[in-house]
Every structure is written in structure tokens, then in C-alpha cells.
Structure 1
């Protein structure tokens, strides 16, 4: 750590450190979108403590913006990391300037040689009425939303393929435009479009289920790629 002529403290960062930190920016946006508008997500860079905020979503909860400084608690957590190597995030409660209660979690981000380069912070504003918070976590049924997005949570790759195959078969069977001759190819096309054949077990499972050879599946895939 060095001291500049402006009497601010700076850590020596490499371009790789900065790029690694920027890689978390999309994660911050995704986290804020998942939890909802009552959640602030902040990324601090430890290159310059006085302007440490390099990414912030929903910053109105604490009144901060890009270029805001690190917090006193952030400095304390950094010192703890330097002393113990502890990076595991822990939840804690605090208050913003307006007195609103926040439930927060902060995790140290490290670069090469485990050097601390940043912090990933999540702050949930608990001052909002709880039903209002819950509402942002639930689908808006008044919009008659169709839940056509499925995701297979499985313990093995084979289970993922089997479930995806079941969905594809149901989709093709419900499509009157698909004739018997094109049935297997249509199923394989859905699986191909969804990236299922990136899994090593997929070809064997699909071939066995459809009672066709692996060579037939490979032939379909070559056609789709071309």
C-alpha cells in the first residue's frame, strides 16, 4: 500500500486485478434483480479507499454512487482479513443515514496470491413493509403470467438429460404439425437448441429412449449444425 501526494491511500493494482473485479459487475446486477428493488448491491475496489465504490445497484438506499468511499466497517473487515485470512461473508444489521434498518453481507474479493482487491456487499432495506418486500419476490398474478420457463435441478448429468428429454417429448407430442416420420428428429432438435448435447451422457440416453442408434443422433446433430 502506498501513500500518494494527495494523502490518499492506494493499493498497487494490476490490469488483471481491475478486470477480475469488473467480472463481478454483472453478478451485482443479477443479484439485485433477483432480490428486488429493496436490495442494494455494491462492489468496492481496494485500489483507492476514498473512491472505492466502482459498481452500485439501487444506491438510493444508502445515498451512495460510483466514486463514494469505503465504509469504516469495510476497513475493519479488510484489517480482519489481513490478520486472519477470513473471507467468508457474515450477515449483520446496521442503519443508513435515514435510520432505516439494513441487513447486510460483505465478502472479501481476492486476486492473485490471495491479495484482497475488493468487496462484494449486499444491503437489504428492512424498513419497507414486509408484505411489500414479499411482493417483489413473487410473480405478479394480475398479469396472468405463464410459467413456461423450466429448470431441471438434478444431482447428476443423466437426470438433467432425462428430464429435458421428457419435456421435449411432451412438447413434440402436443404439436400436431409434427408427423411420425419427423418425430425423433423434432425431439432431438429441441434438445440440441437447448444445449443438452453438451452433456456427455446425452447422446446415449436420447438414442436409447428413442430406440434409434447413436449414429442417427449424430446425423441429426450434424444437420442442425450445418
Structure 2
């Protein structure tokens, strides 16, 4: 449960975003997420024109995935990686976990550097080494609501499982739920019910698979 102190901690990071943006320049999208409400997690964003996002937008599937990876390693609060957005543009990104005094994760600070930024624009702000173009299949989905995110995640997971001949028909639903679980989809509000409807199975079946994964 979030406390007033937690909200104050997150609010204090808004000025950090302003400072980072002033220092790094226009080639960076910087996002502050609150984990209090994943449906409207974006509480501050700078250079949101890159993705069309603004305050009140939901968390992304990649941000959830990176949080899960960080939480698997208690000594780690940050992960950096190369990826591409839906337009195929190369990015260098960082996800930083914001914790409260009890070490509970309460927010994420996400930084995306657009590596297609012109050198002229880049050098207007700083003079670092030349950017390298990454080659990564990782994509992040920018959506306007959580329902769209869930639909896209189920569609992608279903296609992956259906195209894998090594997975028996009896285990396909289980594998789809497992992929969604690994991507953090079930952290979203009413995700079990929505996933069940999209898959054409009962919510009890989805709950069963999720419980097994929790205890696995």
C-alpha cells in the first residue's frame, strides 16, 4: 500500500527529470512511472512527442518486463539495454527502480535515447562519443489504454505458441499464460478476466495457471 511519503518521494523525482532533460538534450525521452496505478502510471514525461505519450498514460509491457528482471536480482536497481521502438528506430534505454524506505519498488525512471538523433542536434547539448546503431529484436508497445496492451500481448503470445510445433495442443493455453505471466501482464487490473475472454477459456483456468506459476 502506498503512503503519503511514497507519493512525496515520487514527486521529488519530477525535478530530476527536468535536470536530466536540460543536461541531455532533445534526443532523450524521459519518463517517470508510479507503480501505484499501472493503468495511469506516467506521472511526468519529457519529450513525449517521440511516442505520443503524456501524463496519465499506462505503463508499457517492456517497462513491466524490465522491472521483473530487476526484481529477480535484489542487488540491482537499474538495467540498461538496446532496443527498437514500433517504428524500428534504434534506442539505448535505461530503467531505474525507485524504492521507498522499506525497499519496496514504488516507481520507475525510464530513459530512452533516440540514436537517430542528428549529430548536429546532439552536439548542441554535449559532445560524447558517436552513437552506435544497435541491432535488437526487442520492441516496446505504446498504447493509449491497458485493454489495448492486453490484446496485443495475448495476440503476440498466441502467435508464438501456435507457431511452435513442439508445444502440444493440450499445453498451448498453459504456455500462452506463461508468456503473459513472464511479461508482467497479470499485474494489470482485471488482466485475468480480460485474458480469459480473449483466449476463449474460463477465468478459473487462467487463475489456475497463474497460481501454478506463482508457486513454481
TM-score w.r.t. length of structure 2: 0.55
1:121 equivalent to 2:123? Answer no
Residue 162 of structure 1 aligns with which residue? none
Deviation at 1:118, TM superposition (A): 0.3
Counterpart of 1:35?
Answer: 24
Q: Secondary structure at the match of 2:124?
A: helix
1:55 corresponds to 2:35: no
Aligned to 2:9: 20
Select the residue among 63, 66, 76 that pairs with 1:74: 63
Question: Which residue number corresponds to residue 98 of structure 2?
Answer: 109
Query: What's the CA shift for 1:51?
Result: 0.9
Given that 1:87 and 1:107 are in contact with CA atoms closer than 8 Å, whether structure 2 keeps it comes out as no
SS in 2 for 1:137: coil
* 2:120 is equivalent to residue 92 of structure 1: no
SS at match of 1:114: coil
Alpha-carbon distance between aligned partners in 2 of 1:121 and 1:86, rounded to the nearest angstrom: 19
Structure 1 unaligned blocks of 5 or more = 1-11, 139-226
What's the RMSD between the two structures over aligned residues? 1.6
Quote the offset at 1:122 in angstroms.
Answer: 1.0
CA distance in 2, matches of 1:55, 1:87: 24
Cα separation, partners in 2 of 1:129 and 1:56, compared to 1, 3 Å: same
Distance 1:47 1:87 in 2: 21
Structure 1 CA distance for aligned equivalents of residues 105 and 21 of structure 2:
23
Higher relative contact order structure (alpha carbons within 8 Å, sequence separation ≥ 6): 2
Q: Distance in 2 between matches of 1:80 and 1:99?
A: 24
Structure 2 Cα separation of the partners of residues 62 and 85 of structure 1: 31
Distance in 1 (CA, whole Å) between partners of 2:98 and 2:125 is 29
Aligned residue-pair number: 127
User: Which deviations, in whole Å up to 9, do the C-alpha atoms of 1:96-119 show, x marking residues without a partner?
Assistant: 233221111111110121000000
Larger radius of gyration: 1
For the Cα contact (< 8 Å) 2:42–2:59, is it kept in 1?
A: yes
Distance in 2 between the 1:38 and 1:32 partners?
9
Displacement of 1:86 in angstroms is 4.1
